[in-house]
Amino acid sequence: MKLILASASPRRAEILRGAGIPFSVISSAVDETPFPGESPFDHVQRLASAKAELVAARSVGPAIVIAADTVVTLEGQIIGKPRSTDDARHTLEQLSSHTHSVLTGVALIRLPDGERRNFVETTHVHFSPLSPEEITRYLDTDEPYDKAGAYAIQGRAGRYIQRIEGCYFNVVGMPLARLSMELADLGWSEEFAMGAGAQS
């Protein structure tokens, strides 16, 4: 039973690879614009499901399709990827000295029978105070610009994180422990991993 990651995210691939989980990649592109009045929880759940369905329709079993969508929220509002340097600066100013939440929706589809699992994992992240100079130095690294919330906890921004409540890997983009539990529930095991050799 092979695993198919429905994402081109290098960070999600790195999490699975680091955990010794073999997989192949079929990227999925969906419109990630939130619906009017849609909650962050519903948003990530909807997008993860849409990505999984898209890839499952193009795949052949036996396999499990894994799809995920991650957002950063502050006071219930989604903070997306920055569109400019000024946007990234504003985002980091908002996060400074505050606690925000990272939500990842995950959708799994087992093929060929179509059995599904869906869940949303939440991690709370406590940010240190950031001076204007620190923000400028961080912006100069180019690290913030393709990241939700304009930072990478696994990169230089790790020095600004006082503590987290919940799964670290969820902040990077894939809640590894919960994913492993759900994969086992769908019948995937280390024995499949050792024999699959499908890492991509």
Strand positions, DSSP E, the chain: 2-5, 24-25, 63-74, 77-79, 99-111, 115-127, 161-165
CA–CA dist 39, 73 (Å, integer): 10
> How long is the chain?
200
69 is catalytic: yes
Q: Which of the following is catalytic: 31, 42, 69, 140? A: 69
Are 6 and 13 a contacting pair, CB within 8 Å?
Answer: no
- CA torsion through residues 60, 180, 154, 50, sign: positive
Are 86 and 50 a contacting pair, CB within 8 Å?
Answer: no
Catalytic residues: 69
